[in-house]
Chains A and B, each alone.
Chain A
């Protein structure tokens, strides 16, 4: 008999940490604010009390050191998860991520490797302004050697975290605080551990009118827009789950949909320039026959500006759902 529980996205993250800390002595967590309710929402509440402050380590304000220490521990055989409560903060760790973790296996022909998990939280809105709000996934998706995953569903929030920690490659796992209250019924017992090299996109909706590709919070914004849109024009809404690398098998899932709908919209709650949306469109076209090239293409993204503080501007800045709906209605 399967035992189903209702878990929020944040609960699912916390349960994934609990599962791994309970079952794998090599797993430990470090990062800023892990002993405080301020930094990581309710996604890690009381883990320090349950598993001890030796394995759930709140750190000095040293993003660069903290990330590199996690990489070093992974080189020495542990399965560390380093947590950055804002994606903005981990830019201090760029050398460790880009030069070290991403290249360690390749430079050393697999004789040494750095299977670290870097959990990075997007926490937009709330008049936090330019340096507490960013979605920088594209920066990391540019780099060969590291994987980037962005869960949308509570199930994926759990499964992709467990998969990241058990993956033999370094992984950046990005969760979005605007998803923390989504909830699902699911069974925690005996969940299979996913292999990140094999996962493919999920269909959240199916339909013939247009192909909508998105990830993380962008999927939720798209889902709401589609709900408000004509029910007579159902769309394929595809959740990428992994944004780098994206396998050819995954791209073929998207292309199959595009061949059917002839309309491709990529919704990314980040900037368009050199971003995931551009990448998806390019990859789709590279694999389509010339006879399929008369396809209607659109990127729905954040404006090319830092996040403003003033609420009057913030509501314009975060208008992904509205922008997408407007586009759909004129299509």
Chain B
């Protein structure tokens, strides 16, 4: 697909192809994507109902990218995210109940409620951390890749960033350093065309972020970020190569967030470009989950009733975990200073 088609939801899309993916990989991809969507929708409702006190940045519409990558990542890799990172943790297998509790500020949360939606960690699945300072974790991922190189491990670091983060200076320092020192860090740009309310055409002279990979002599690939099967099929070999040859790679995946920048609204009334027509076209013509379901059916992996039944079970399970999270206790006041330093007063 050409660049314009990747960004334009009204343009024709590639016919889905399974490539060399095995049936169980397709099923797993679908499960991960549904897991992300149902959790995010549950959080959107919770926020709208006022049960979640702080802002949430949701990934519905963008599920394919972390799901495809996470098939080939393991818990000894070091993955970093940003403000929109529920999907990154969930794709790695992060615990749904603990994520709900964290977003709700409860003691069973991933960080006992100290972080909240915008500061997530789950080292048990390789997710080192996400923070909402745009681009702040990109150089941290470079540091983790440096650690892996010094320890002579075959692990990689993964840095999820957005098109907006590419506007931060430190990202360019990071690309330069990773290339110069040949560090195994995978830069994953989820290019959803918007930074908050600003369309990319209002912010940058080019639409594709891969031009910065070229500038730093880093190999890159540009994807339709809503085509999970294609990304999984190609990224498997790229990630394996990174493990063997210890070098960086730059992946750009064009996608679109169905919710607005923050919380549950559509955000079609802010900024200049985002419209109901554009939003609907992405939902109806480029839904990444619908596309993987078409593939499951056409490849005779699952039929539509089996897909519907699986999704129904998953949704019920997630709703039960949400109810359980609502019942979890909040942290008590005596714990306020417990983690400022290793030995806290």
Contact = CB atoms under 8 A, between A and B. Distances in A.
B146 A73 contact: yes
A54 B343 CA distance: 32
Given A28-B150, A65-B142, A76-B143, A109 B173 contact: no
Interface string B138-151: 01111111111011
A176 interface: no
B188 to A, nearest CB: 16
Interface string B120-145: 01110000110101001101111111
B180 interface: yes
Contact of A168 (B136, B139, B180, B342): B342
B317 to A, nearest CB: 25
Interface stretch (B1-9, B108-116, B300-308, B319-327): B108-116
A144 to B, nearest CB: 5
Given A73-B146, A76-B144, A64 B139 contact: yes
B170 A73 contact: no
A169 B341 contact: yes
A21 interface: no
A145 B340 contact: yes
A110 interface: yes
Nearest to B185: A72
Given A108-B111, A168-B342, A96 B136 contact: yes
Contacts of B247: none
A111 B123 contact: yes
A72 B141 contact: yes
Given A65-B173, A72-B147, A100-B140, A105 B342 contact: yes
A105 B169 contact: no
Given A71-B140, A99-B133, A169 B150 contact: no
B273 interface: no
A106 interface: yes
Contacts of B111: 107-109, 111
A113 interface: yes
Interface in A219-264: 245, 247
Contacts of A99: 131, 133, 136
B339 interface: yes
B150 A68 contact: no
B176 interface: yes
A147 interface: yes
A108 B119 contact: yes
B176 A60 contact: yes
A65 B340 contact: no
B342 A107 contact: no
Contacts of B177: 59-60, 62, 65-66, 69
A239 B337 CA distance: 28
A77 interface: yes
Contacts of A74: 143
A327 B157 CA distance: 57
B341 A147 contact: yes
A105 B139 contact: no
A4 interface: no
A71 B342 CA distance: 16
A197 B128 contact: no
B78 interface: yes
Contact of A69 (B110, B131, B143): B143
A309 to B, nearest CB: 28
A75 interface: yes
Contacts of B146: 69, 72-73, 78
Contacts of B136: 68, 95-96, 99-100
B147 A110 contact: no
Interface in A57-110: 57, 59-60, 62, 64-66, 68-78, 80, 95-96, 99-100, 104-110
B114 A108 contact: yes
Contacts of A69: 139-140, 142-143, 146, 177
A245 B170 CA distance: 29
B115 A68 contact: no
B78 A76 contact: yes
A112 B150 contact: no
A52 to B, nearest CB: 11
Nearest to B331: A109
Contacts of B144: 72-73, 75-76
Contact of A106 (B129, B157, B340): B340
Nearest to B343: A197
Contacts of A105: 339-342
A177 interface: no
A75 B141 CA distance: 10
Nearest to A100: B136
A108 B144 CA distance: 17
A137 to B, nearest CB: 18
A176 to B, nearest CB: 25
A111 B143 CA distance: 18
Contact of A144 (B115, B151, B340): B340
B34 interface: no
Contacts of B128: 75-76, 112
B174 interface: yes
B320 to A, nearest CB: 25
Contact of B147 (A76, A169, A197): A76
Given A76-B128, A108-B111, A112-B121, A71 B143 contact: yes
22 contacts: A60-B176, A62-B177, A64-B169, A65-B139, A68-B140, A69-B139, A70-B143, A72-B141, A73-B144, A73-B150, A75-B128, A75-B144, A76-B144, A96-B136, A105-B341, A107-B115, A107-B121, A107-B129, A109-B112, A168-B342, A195-B343, A197-B342
Which 3 pairs between the two chains have the least Cβ-Cβ distance? A72-B143, A68-B139, A65-B173
Given A55-B150, A112-B128, A245-B341, 20 more contacts: A59-B177, A60-B177, A64-B169, A65-B174, A68-B170, A71-B143, A72-B140, A72-B147, A73-B147, A73-B150, A75-B78, A107-B119, A107-B131, A109-B115, A110-B342, A111-B110, A145-B340, A145-B341, A197-B341, A197-B343
Interface of A: 28, 54-55, 57, 59-60, 62, 64-66, 68-78, 80, 95-96, 99-100, 104-113, 144-145, 147, 167-169, 195, 197, 245, 247
